[in-house]
Amino acid sequence: MSDGYIHKYFLNNSQQYMQKWIHYLNIYEKHLERFRGKSPVMIEIGVFQGGSLKMWKDYLGETSKIVGIDIDPKCKKFEEEGIEIYIGNQSDPKLINQIFSNYPKIDIILDDGSHKMKDMRESFNLIYNHLSKEGVYLIEDTHTCYDKNYGGGYKDPNSFIEFAKNKVDELHAHHTNGLFKVSPFTCSTQSITYYDGIIVFEKKAQGTRNDLITEGMQETDMPYSIKSNFAVKRKDKKKFIEQKEMDEK
Ligand SMILES: C[S@@+](CC[C@H](N)C(=O)[O-])C[C@H]1O[C@@H](n2cnc3c(N)ncnc32)[C@H](O)[C@@H]1O
């Protein structure tokens, strides 16, 4: 359960400048709470005045590592114990690979960078598969997806909202009759959550899909030896009941 830490920190901020939509704070607390005190590595794309990096450090705990990325070299000055800042473009593969080699396990990504469609997509494509097995990836200010100035637009195929909708299909690849290929994304993603302004991808290794039936025991139940180790399908059970009824006649 969240203790409202981020709300309290944000509203009483005595450190550097921070600007956040107030409804984002609940979303952060919902998705980041589980990492507190567990020494996570977090990357925030977009440092600006460094205020949010300090907040993440304070919230996630002493042993967390916060990595900032910003295109503006002036941001380097916000480095301090536990906060490292890389200067460069968020969609530069060389920069991202350099960060991966210094931080092989990354648990949290928050993209609060350019908010341009191309950068959002390219950063996601570069980073997502490297995120730890139970990591979380948040893309902030996705309302820019409706703004032509950011390369977006309603139902524009370049919009990150549309990109993420395709990811919803990829999440369901098993059920699309081959329309979508089961991909590393399908196998490693548990959920995609759309909020007003934020999209959250939660990773978790997925098991094989079994459509099991559970209900109260009945006299017509298949003997355990027949059920063996595979998942019982409805049609198997129906066949078994029909056979049993015929045998009893
Ligand atoms: C909205 S501000 C970040 C605010 C900060 N996260 C906070 O909450 O206080 C966006 C930042 O992204 C940086 N930025 C813009 N385009 C970028 C790009 N292509 N790559 C990396 N950083 C970029 C800007 O220099 C700016 O500092």
- Mind listing the pLDDT tens digit of every residue in the chain (249 residues)? 688 999 999 999 998 899 899 999 999 999 999 999 999 999 999 999 999 999 999 999 999 999 999 999 999 999 999 999 999 999 999 999 999 999 999 999 999 999 999 999 999 999 999 999 999 999 999 999 999 999 999 999 999 999 999 999 999 999 999 999 999 999 999 999 999 999 999 999 999 988 887 889 888 887 776 666 555 566 676 777 788 788 888
Domain count, the chain: 2
Do both 217 and 198 map to the same domain?
no
Q: Would residue 61 be called left, alpha or beta, if left means φ above 0 and alpha means ψ between -120 and 50 degrees?
A: left
Which pLDDT tens digit goes with each residue over 121-157? 999 999 999 999 999 999 999 999 999 999 999 999 9
Q: Is 18 in the pocket of ligand 1 (CB under 6 A)?
A: yes
Do both 35 and 96 map to the same domain?
yes
pTM of full prediction above 0.85: yes
* CATH number reported for the structural domain that contains residue 98 in this entry: 3.40.50.150
Q: Is 113 in the pocket of ligand 1 (CB under 6 A)?
A: yes
Ligand 1, pocket-test mutation among 78, 90, 123, 143, most atoms within 8 A of CB: 90
* List of residues 6+ apart from 51 with CB closer than 8 A: 13, 15, 16, 17, 18
Exposed (0-12), middle (13-18) or buried (19+): which is 132, by Cβ within 10 Å? Answer: middle
Do both 136 and 236 map to the same domain?
no
End-to-end CA distance of the chain: 59
β-pair type (189-194, 131-140) = unpaired
C-alpha dihedral, 25 to 26 to 27 to 31, nearest 10° = 110
**Which atom of ligand 1 lies closest to the CA of 89?**
20
Amino acid making up residue 100: F
d(CA 54, CA 48): 12
Residue of 110, 198, 120, 126 whose CA lies nearest to 152 = 120
Residues spanned by the domain of 180: 5-203
d(CA 143, CA 93): 26
Do both 155 and 234 map to the same domain?
no
